[in-house]
Amino acid sequence: MKLRRLSTEEAARPVRTAMDVSVASSAARVVDDVRLRGEPAFKEHAQRVGDWRADEQLVYDRNAIEEAAQKVDDRDLALLRRTADRLRTFASAQRRAITDMSLVFPGGRAGHTVEPVERAGCYVAAGPVPLPSAVLMTVVTARAAGVRDVWLATARPAPIVFAAAHVAGVDSLLAVGGAPAIAALAHGAGGIPACDAIVGVGDRSITAAKQCVAGRIAIDLLDGPNELLIVADETADARFVAADLLAQAEHQGGFPILVSLEAGLVERVERELESQLESLPRAAEIRRALEHGFAVVEPDLRRAIHVVDEIAPGHLQLMLRDSSLAAYLVRHCGTLFIGSHSAEAFGDYGAGPNYVLPIARGSRSRGGLSVFTFLRIRSWLDTTNASDLASDAARFARMEGLEAHARAAELRR
């Protein structure tokens, strides 16, 4: 299996985007129709995309979710609980890291409070296999942030998805997917209340629909094919590198990249890829994903890190003699996996950090899904005798031609 070769300069000019404009207008029409007509429009679009029929249950409450979860094997249920506990521990520690603040200044006080949004919608794609991990990643994080009311939207939920919803603490499950689900969660539809934040990953129509409602409500990020970039040198085990590239390529549209400080490693990894592919199911699909990725040979570590920062991958894995140094130098990635034994698959399956991450250079401007996605910073001001502030505010207001502002400030002197 030969990886496509790019030069350092070619690799540092990424052209991938999170959005597909070809589906944006269709998603916008659905979202706007649900906003204007509410529940009738939502149900029409849900039936049109084939996620729901009029004789099927549309919304499941806590009791119905728990009942459906009972169909799951006890060992699987225990696995869900262990994974949820790891995610909850990490997310709860994140929540404690940001606190309220109060500052005293002459004449008063100012500060901020940190509060969760009231209601969140978590979206989970209904692909060829169920994704209980996505339920845990989104819902457990929202709960750890303190969100009071959490909805889950997913089409055709399997028993394992109901079990994950039960373990994570979902309040209500909307058994519809696609842009209609995003529209209903954003604007409300019948008994479905409007949410204050919508998170979770899906196909291009989900990304487009989330972009349509962003601003009115909080969203986590614009989703797209998963990225894994591995930086490795001659000390890296080619088996590990190949296995992790294959794992990323197993995602639909996965985008695996290898930046090697040694040309010989790329060749050893290619031989391993071919060997490991022989025994993998879905080998043909994985091979196509590998063809979308590429390899770069760059002997200079700082130039290799420059490639990383320009691509700004969602997942970055370091397999180097001194991975800690490289970790210090890197500026832009979604989640960092340090050392050969820190498999990216551990991040996918509940070590603690979230796997909902920005792609297409998105990590240059934001992080992945976390408790912070569900939190609001609300500033406050309490002044009693701030004559200097009043004088300065009045002068500033007149500088900008706002006399009413100036007089309102002067009244407080």
Q: Does some domain include residue 96? A: yes
* In a shared domain, residues 206 and 243: no
Is 36 inside a domain boundary? yes
Task: Assess whether 349 and 234 both reside in one domain.
Answer: yes
3-state secondary structure 242-308: HHHHHHHHCCCCCEEEEEECCHHHHHHHHHHHHHHHCCCCCHHHHHHHHHHCEEEECCCHHHHHHHH
Q: What is the CATH number of the domain that holds 320?
A: 3.40.50.1980
97's tokens: 């890291």
Whether residues 30 and 170 fall in one domain: yes
Q: Is residue 130 part of a domain?
A: yes
Answer yes or no: do 166 and 232 share one domain. Answer: no
Whether 406 maps to a domain, the answer reads: no
In the block, tokens 């109901």 appear at: 162
What are the distances in angstroms from CA 252 to CA 101, 218, 242?
A: 44, 26, 18
Residue type, 178: G
Q: What is the pLDDT along the chain (413 residues), one digit of tens a residue?
A: 899 999 999 998 866 665 566 688 899 999 999 999 999 999 999 999 878 888 899 999 999 999 999 999 999 999 999 999 999 999 999 999 999 999 999 999 999 999 999 999 999 998 888 999 999 999 999 999 999 999 999 999 999 999 999 999 999 999 999 999 999 999 999 999 999 999 998 888 999 999 999 999 999 988 777 899 999 999 999 999 999 999 999 987 789 999 999 999 999 999 999 999 999 999 999 999 999 899 999 999 999 999 999 999 999 999 999 999 999 999 999 999 999 999 999 999 989 999 999 988 999 999 999 999 999 999 999 999 888 999 999 999 999 999 999 999 999 98
Are 233 and 310 in the same domain? yes
255 and 333 assigned to the same domain: yes
In this structure, the answer to whether residues 275 and 158 fall within a common structural domain is: no
How many structural domains are present in the chain?
2
Q: What is the pTM of this model?
A: 0.93
Is residue 149 located within the same domain as residue 253?
Answer: no
For 291, the domain range is 8-18+225-364
Co-location of 140 and 209 in the same domain: yes
Same domain membership, residue 299 and residue 238: yes
Mark which of 191, 219, 247 sits at the end of a domain: 219
Same domain, 25 and 153: yes
